[in-house]
A and B are shown apart, each in its own frame.
Chain A
Amino acid sequence: MGVDSASMSEARHPAAETSSTAHSYNVRICHWINVVSCVYLLWSGVHIFLDFPELYWGHTGYRGYPAAFRLADWGLSWEEAGALGDRRWGRNYHFTAAWVFLINGLVYVVWNLYASHFRNRMWPARDERTVAHVRAELRDHLRWRSHRRANDSYGTLQKTSYLILIFVFVPLMILTGIAQSPGFTAAMPTLLDMFGGRQTARTLHTIGTLALVLFVVVHVLEVAAAGFFVKVRSMITGK
């Protein structure tokens, strides 16, 4: 099979940039609730981190214990970071936003499993799972061109990254989050063994946050490359 060169060149044509496959109600509502909850999760998480700006590996970590990362080594002292971070605000909003994120995510996943959204729109088709196809798509991305086929709005790389995000990355973020909780770990001690300790979970949760921020940056750049106004409008109105 290989690359469908006709549709690729069509996708590069300016006229094709304005057409966009409609997003369902569910996808649109969940997307924006997700944006709000993720902004709160990030911001409150930063506040929590600043109040104790060191990371460790294993089960133990406290001030004076060998650290994997110390913000003080990067120019912001413990006291300066503590003055910026408000963990009371941070904890209150982090756990509230986490519930909103979790419930919204469950609604999204269950609804779209029921609506076959993942199978129809996210699972790469056979002809998209070829090296040549992915290579051509990657080349387009690097040239700042959005690859879009005529009747299918998601590219293979896009599909793959969304699937990994939803079904691998997000569950890992939730698990590394609750692996820090004394209540959840008492109920499910496996959480501690899964990551090799509470402090490791905290460190991985922080690294995961950075990865997620990177994902959002690339995501927004991709939206910009595909036509920011059209894409954002379609995620709001569905047209």
Chain B
Amino acid sequence: MSTRMSRRTWLTTSVPALGGLLLTGCSRETFVPPRVRGGLIGAADVLTMSTNRLLLSGQPLAREYSRADVADPFPTWNQTNPRNPEYQRHASEGFKNWRLPITGLVARPRDFSLDEIRRLPARTQITAHICEQGWSAIGEWTGAPLQRVLEEAGGVTPTARYVVIDTFDGWYEGYDLFEVAHAQTILAYGLNGRDLPRGNGAPLRLRVERQCGYKNLKFLKSIRVVDSMAGIGKGTGGINSDFGFHWYAGV
């Protein structure tokens, strides 16, 4: 009798739990890069990403530090001032006429001014920026959660699989919806209590705290929501993976 009861309890709790897992995050995109490379390297990519995603299935936050740990001024790296004339014009105008269009698979495609993004509920997080080269520095980032910005555009449609971000320095990256839904995935306009400096990606940069620096794009130009990364760039899912780096940069 007691075993039958416990079996029933087990069934009644585990079936909905499994269903929830299937509905929320158990899609292929959560565990496998958009395009799996050949050979052992591709197998390792899948192992790394699925292991990470299983461990992160409860969407825990990346470590948040205290103000005393902050690097100020925050180090700059790679592109610090895109030569793109459009970017230079926006910068000279203090980004007053800069707009962030959100297009593709959202219910109400629209664009945002910097002020409109600033008026959304903000999140401030003191986290480590971890460059894949080996350096790391802690900064206090302030911005609007990407998920919230997408909701302002009516939310993503059921066929949506990736959010693609394009930048003024010609970079682009794709992010699966599991990464997008994370609380610390924000569009940051503030660094260490001030406006995001140009050297660190003004006016707006992405923070994905559970992935390496190269996924944290700077100088945002536009956002589009797509059902597949095929046909964008070389089709690997981002400019870094087009170059042969890992698409999933959690290691």
Residues of A within 8 A of B (CB): 48-49, 51-52, 59-65, 87-88, 91-93, 95-96, 98-100, 178, 180-189, 192, 198-199, 202
Contacts and interface: CB of A to CB of B under 8 A. Distances in A.
Contact of A87 (B69, B128, B133): B133
A64 B75 contact: yes
Nearest to A193: B63
Given A59-B128, A60-B138, A186 B133 contact: no
Interface string B112-133: 0000000000000000101111
A49 B134 CA distance: 8
In this complex, the interface size class of chain B, counting residues with CB under 8 Å from chain A, is 35 or more
A88 B243 CA distance: 9
A185 B63 contact: yes
A141 B177 CA distance: 60
Interface of B: 40-41, 43-44, 47-48, 52, 55-56, 60-63, 65, 69, 71, 75, 128, 130-138, 209-212, 243-246, 249-251
Nearest to B56: A187
19 contacts: A49-B134, A59-B65, A59-B138, A61-B137, A62-B131, A64-B75, A88-B245, A93-B41, A95-B44, A95-B48, A182-B212, A183-B52, A183-B211, A183-B250, A185-B63, A186-B210, A187-B55, A198-B130, A202-B134
A198 to B, nearest CB: 5
Contacts of B251: 95, 178, 181-184
Nearest to A94: B251
A96 B130 contact: no
Contacts, number: 110
A96 B246 CA distance: 11
Interface of B is mostly: loop
B137 A60 contact: yes
A92 B137 contact: no
A101 to B, nearest CB: 11
Nearest to A49: B134
B250 A181 contact: yes
A91 B246 contact: yes
A53 B44 CA distance: 26
Given A88-B244, A99-B47, A183 B136 contact: no
B136 A199 contact: yes
A176 to B, nearest CB: 13
B37 to A, nearest CB: 9
A11 to B, nearest CB: 42
